Structure 1
């Protein structure tokens, strides 16, 4: 789960050995590392090549993932190339949902509103 540069020498050797014994795992490793590189460097323009490579492999889950990305291709590429994101908004929405779940069946809208507004001030 760590970046390959952060593996110890023995862990690197062990990873290499495992990957040489299982071709499917080696292909998965290569594709996942490639996708992680696209994410970390925000180079969405390389995503098309990655998706073509993922669909070419006999890995059903990655093939399905690549196909799913194509359903909203423009938004995915925009998300991987621009520095704008909706992270703060999504975090706030998740927080409101958590408060709502905590209060499920216990209170009505006025109390929920008050709790959301009080926690927003923090």
Structure 2
């Protein structure tokens, strides 16, 4: 297979994917798509860990491993925006000093000006 242009890869954001994400995204790809990524990887970045990952997945698919569902080109799900912290000065506990050595039940006292 000739060197594939970046725009025609099965994973459009392939170059920016971290190894852990790439590992999950390639599970939906067939052997032809995996071979296309392997050719691109060897011609460009030639990252050993990625080549091993792709080679292992090609062997798994050739041995009959099922492809996962889902769209491999879809980006990661976004977490819902948080509404803000429930912690406020009104809900914070009173500050206190650490207990003295030897007696955890006795509250500590400030050291004063030394």
Higher helix proportion = 1
Larger of the two Rg values belongs to structure: 2
TM-score w.r.t. the length of structure 1 is 0.28
